[in-house]
Structure 1
Amino acid sequence: MTDPQIALAMLGIFMLCVFLGFPIAFTLMAIGIAFGYYAYFDASRMWRAFDRLGEDASWFESTRLWIEGFYNNRIFDLFINQTYTVISNEVLTAIPLFLFMGYVVERANIVDKLFGTLAVATRNVPGSLGVAALITCALFATATGIVGAVVTLMGLLALPQMLKMRYNHSFATGIICAGGTLGILIPPSIMLIVYAASSGVSIVRLYAAALLPGLVLVSLYLVYIVTRAILNPKLAPKPTLEEVPKVPLGPLLWMLATSFLPLAVLILSVLGSILFGLATPTEAASIGAMGGLLLAIAYRAMTFDRLRESVYLTVRTTAMVCWLFVGSYTFSAVFSYLGGEHVIAEFVKGLDLTPIQFLIIAQLIIFLLGWPLEWSEIIIIFVPIFLPLLPLFGIDPLFFGVLVALNLQTSFLTPPMAMSAYYLKGVAPPHIKLTEIFSGVLPYCGMVLIAMVIMYVYPQIVFSLPDAFYGAQ
């Protein structure tokens, strides 16, 4: 077998291991080191240690020299260097800080007050509870970026209220599942940080580029909810005064000031400090982490146990992302050294695709990968395979990154592996069927596709803010 064929076999073995359920990060490291040993094998380096082995050497000295000879391979140097590269990456430093902010906010009892206030404020809007739930999801998802946490908490908080007010099961569950995924796209998104680290795109420009597409997607969701509620009022009956009381303007403004405003100020201060160049993403994430702590203290929700749990979850998630990067960098380096990327590039060139055909194929592959894999694995492992191909079709990696972030919304919403549906089913009342949740989330996949088409037809939605803030590239 030639080296490129071995590289393709390496990729095939990895995919097989993924579908068999092996841990992704350690599978990447193991396969990368195993094939890298072959790729970087140098007999002279291996036998250099054995040349010092004398006839009268002890068993211990012989064993030591054999081990030294075995490990005298550049793959181990590569693995150590890649680990150090990940640990010292300044962009990735923002991840644990944003995670910590999200976990603290999740435990600060802000969301229940926010949802109650928005339910009162939107009571005269068709599908008012659905609108309130989606806005709450969008704010909470933006603050945390953790899909499972948002869907689970909103499933415990908003879903019982909507069911109590006779909302259609599919309609209510679809809103929560779709709203919970918005943190993948809307800054300050952890997914965008990971993409920036993988692609070399400026995270500041990426945040600016993703802001308008995120707002477009939220707007499409809101239009869908209100339109469905108008066309079929039985899906979302208007609440009675007993269910959602009418509050005078003054008290309502106070409710908004004590529930909606603090979280909005926290998010805007973090995002604004990044976009206007007042702070780096890491510095802004530090501000956000401190702000989350202050909010939790102000709401009298911070205890030592909650703080310890937030720290533990932050460390666990950060470690998972970092080890994925180490494994991916090692795997990618060996795959490229063996000629795998060149084979893929030549194959794609031979297809004679137009840019839009390439985008459709790439997004379809990412969409399918979203069924068995988490977004972090897709971004760290598979997106780098497409990045070297972008210059061939004149596609800006900034545009491609936002398109991928939009696409990954569907990976959480598309049956049979719609993870947001399973998160919600885990906390929903027993009479809510999984098929009803699946039925509720499918229209939102259509909204995502519409947003992707809008992005392609009007690319300035992506480029206008980065160009306005930082100049055209």
Structure 2
Amino acid sequence: MKMRKELWFGFAIMALVVAGAVGMLLGVETIMRGHLGLLMLSLVVVAIMLGFPTAFTLMGMGMIFTWLAYDSDITRTLDLMVQAAYKSMANDVLIAIPLFVFMGYLVERANLIEKLFKSLHLAMARVPGSLAVATLITCAIFATATGIVGAVVTLMGLLALPAMLRAGYSTPMSAGAITAGGCLGILIPPSVLLILYGATAGVSVVQLYAGAFFPGIMLAGLYVMYVILMAKLKPAWAPPLSAEERQVVLPAMTAALPAETQQYAPVRLLDALKGKRNAQVPTAYVLRQLALVVMPGLLFVLLATSSWRAVTTVSVEEAYGIQPIGFNDNSPRVASEFGLQEPPVEGGLQEPPQESTGLQEPPGADSGALAEPPGAEPAQSAPSAVGEPPGSTAGATPQAATQPAPTWWWVMFGVLGAATALFYLFLSFARLEIFKMLLGSFFPLLTLIMAVLGSIVFGLATPTEAAAMGAFGGFVLAAAYKRLSMDVVRESVYLTAKTSAMVCWLFVGSAIFSAAFALLGGQELIEQWVLSMNLSKIEFMVLSQVVIFLLGWPLEWTEIIVIFMPIFIPLLSHFGVDPLFFGLLVALNLQTAFLSPPVAMSAFYLKGVAPPHVRLNQIFLGMLPFMGIQVLAIVLLYVWPQIGLWLPQLLYK
């Protein structure tokens, strides 16, 4: 029987791993315990590629090699297993995982994705490659709300792939847009990957979420730009929609005004309130349509005025430079990190100057009474408060000062103002109907996402509390769309328990494996090898990212996080790399784990629901350009780290 190319590729990688391990053992004069740790690492990779369950492979290998490290002492081996498992399960950060997963399954079953895709592709009908662009935006929003790659790729494969193929889109571009867009949930918060990395590296999940926000938007934007560019250069790959596909059907009440799709909506609705020409249309209906028209403008004014006060009002402490004890304007804020500082030691404490005759009496002491120093003024009334700011009135409550609005505020509201103006400038009845469709699909999801992420990023709730709030929001959405039932809840709970158990067992297996690896000295051996290469910071970053990129071929992101991150993280301090920044690069890089053959899980998810004529090789071919875009995004983030670090520094400086 002829073997498939994917199997040949997988077996070739396994052969290289085994050959490398054997060559390492044969090439050293004395086999040390550290070499046994590297052998364990190689065997774990091969066993996972052969299809053994990752979590139990890690636990099994960890137990076997721990037993060897302890010289066949089974009691100490079992003690290590129990301690590692207890330490992992006592991690509070992991509580957020089942809650976020549960929120994702409830949102998925609210059946919002079909309405969202339809409204987005109508809203972008005139954009080149509109169906693929709508697919990417739908995937990004839905992946952010769910964080479940398999669910997003599967649903979009059932919904968007047939629509794109019917419209004449090329199969590789259609498949690439779905698989790449579905993987954005790995990076964009709330992401389970970031929770696992934060728990593994000891980095704040809150700061990781804040840091991953803009890189995620950047990656999605690069995907959209690529699709639009290719649709312009290769129109046969993504032909424009026909007039029938762009047509919007007006409701019966709106058509009875009478109204046409391209007619300017605000003026016609105002005219409908005059006279008796529209007696067949209730006035309440017209007023509701006008309320929808006015809503974006009112929302913009409300946001602008409320945020203006927030960014221009300065508290009394900031206005007058009042700072905590131990700080000043010219010294770095280091007390919080290093505690109280010793006074300058130059010369030590000095004695006061003394005359040769010893201590002298103050002037006027012989007169028998203490005298005022020459030129002294009568004592004035003491101020009402110590440290009263200059120019303040005693006893009065100091008023808050103002400052100019920052540049980012002007930029953000300039863009929002331009978008609002364009909305009203071209508001036809067709666009009003599309806006109503977005109100029923896009904005509920956006509200849920912003409520969850905003409460985390601005410190209103911990990730666990925000996840609980998101799970409740999933309940509300499912109920609002009349999709909430006992069967839906039962299925969501079952899938949540299944996914959470997988992640938690994986974390336990990783803890046991890492303990055995460190016990054998494998970590120390790798550190010595890396440090002996005398790498610069840039060379180390390139080497680490290339290794992670290559690991994405045979392994999934979960295995890379729990197996290989504990190897890289201890090296970061030596090279002066911020673990937060390294985590953002890793999150971007691990997108490749779902897009790189032969273990490209998103390709297999899509193949499972695609029409029979869509071949796996076509899906792989469509994913390759998006893999190149991911590499470009990694380079951009490394060259301009403020893409990921600006928001955490702004919020948590």
Residue number in structure 2 paired with 1:156:
158
Within the alignment, does 1:451 sit opposite 2:633 as a pair?
yes
Please show how residues 292-303 of structure 1 align to structure 2 within 5 Å.
Answer: 292-303=474-485
SS at match of 2:244: coil
AA of the residue aligned to 2:176: G
Choose 1 or 2 for highest CA Rg: 2
Q: Does the CA-based 8 Å contact 2:47-2:57 persist in structure 1?
A: yes
- Give, in angstroms, the shift of residue 10 of structure 1: 2.4
The partner residue of 1:37 within 45, 67, 89 is: 67
The partner residue of 2:229 within 222, 227, 230 is: 227
Residue number in structure 2 paired with 1:186:
188
TM-score by length of 1: 0.91
Within the alignment, does 1:323 sit opposite 2:505 as a pair?
yes
AA of the residue aligned to 2:228: V
Residue number in structure 2 paired with 1:469:
651
SS at match of 1:416: coil
| TM-aligned CA distance change 1:197 to 1:226, over 3 Å | same
12-21 vs 121-130, which moves further: 12-21
Residue number in structure 2 paired with 1:269:
451
Please show how residues 49-60 of structure 1 align to structure 2 within 5 Å.
Answer: none
SS at match of 2:236: helix
SS at match of 1:225: helix
| CA deviation vs aligned residue, 1:41-69 (integer Å, no higher than 9, x gap) | 59xxxxxxxxxxxxxxxxxxxxxxxxxxx
- Give, in angstroms, the shift of residue 168 of structure 1: 1.5
Cα distance in 2 between the residues matched to 1:299 and 1:307: 14
Q: Does the CA-based 8 Å contact 1:184-1:190 persist in structure 2?
A: yes
Within the alignment, does 1:310 sit opposite 2:492 as a pair?
yes
SS at match of 1:465: helix
Residue number in structure 1 paired with 2:568:
386
Within the alignment, does 1:5 sit opposite 2:46 as a pair?
no
| CA deviation vs aligned residue, 1:122-161 (integer Å, no higher than 9, x gap) | 1111111111111000001111111111111000011111
Please show how residues 178-257 of structure 1 align to structure 2 within 5 Å.
Answer: 178-246=180-248, 248-257=430-439
Please show how residues 58-457 of structure 1 align to structure 2 within 5 Å.
Answer: 71=74, 73-246=75-248, 248-457=430-639
- Give, in angstroms, the shift of residue 378 of structure 1: 1.0
Cα distance in 1 between the residues matched to 2:46 and 2:615: 32
- Give, in angstroms, the shift of residue 418 of structure 1: 2.1
Cα distance in 2 between the residues matched to 1:411 and 1:7: 25
AA of the residue aligned to 1:19: M
SS at match of 1:242: helix
Cα distance in 1 between the residues matched to 2:226 and 2:245: 24
Residue number in structure 1 paired with 2:12:
none
297-306 vs 112-121, which moves further: 297-306
Cα distance in 2 between the residues matched to 1:214 and 1:413: 16
AA of the residue aligned to 1:220: L
TM-score by length of 2: 0.66
- Give, in angstroms, the shift of residue 368 of structure 1: 2.0
Q: Higher helix proportion, which one?
A: 1
Q: Does the CA-based 8 Å contact 1:165-1:243 persist in structure 2?
A: no
Cα distance in 2 between the residues matched to 1:31 and 1:410: 27
- Give, in angstroms, the shift of residue 18 of structure 1: 2.3
Cα distance in 2 between the residues matched to 1:202 and 1:442: 33
Cα distance in 1 between the residues matched to 2:40 and 2:229: 50
User: Which blocks of at least 5 consecutive residues in structure 1 are unaligned?
Assistant: 43-69
- Give, in angstroms, the shift of residue 468 of structure 1: 0.3
Residue number in structure 2 paired with 1:49:
none
- Give, in angstroms, the shift of residue 219 of structure 1: 0.9
User: Which blocks of at least 5 consecutive residues in structure 2 are unaligned?
Assistant: 1-30, 249-260, 262-429
SS at match of 1:329: helix
Q: Does the CA-based 8 Å contact 2:556-2:599 persist in structure 1?
A: no
AA of the residue aligned to 1:15: V
Q: Which 4+ runs in 1 deviate beyond 4 A?
A: none
73-82 vs 271-280, which moves further: 73-82
| CA deviation vs aligned residue, 1:374-393 (integer Å, no higher than 9, x gap) | 21111111111111111121
Cα distance in 1 between the residues matched to 2:445 and 2:610: 26
SS at match of 1:233: coil
AA of the residue aligned to 1:223: M
The partner residue of 1:17 within 20, 32, 47 is: 47
| CA deviation vs aligned residue, 1:22-55 (integer Å, no higher than 9, x gap) | 222112112212222232359xxxxxxxxxxxxx
- Tell me how many residue pairs correspond in the alignment: 443
| CA deviation vs aligned residue, 1:280-321 (integer Å, no higher than 9, x gap) | 000000011110111011111122222111111111111111
Cα distance in 2 between the residues matched to 1:11 and 1:121: 51
Q: Does the CA-based 8 Å contact 2:555-2:599 persist in structure 1?
A: no
Cα distance in 2 between the residues matched to 1:313 and 1:19: 25
Q: Does the CA-based 8 Å contact 1:367-1:407 persist in structure 2?
A: yes
Residue number in structure 2 paired with 1:56:
none
| CA deviation vs aligned residue, 1:83-115 (integer Å, no higher than 9, x gap) | 122222110000000000111111110000000
354-363 vs 99-108, which moves further: 354-363
Cα distance in 1 between the residues matched to 2:38 and 2:538: 26
| CA deviation vs aligned residue, 1:248-299 (integer Å, no higher than 9, x gap) | 2322221111110001111111000000000000000001111011101111
The partner residue of 2:56 within 26, 32, 39 is: 26
| TM-aligned CA distance change 1:436 to 1:188, over 3 Å | same
- Give, in angstroms, the shift of residue 338 of structure 1: 2.0
Q: CA RMSD in A?
A: 1.5
Cα distance in 1 between the residues matched to 2:552 and 2:633: 18
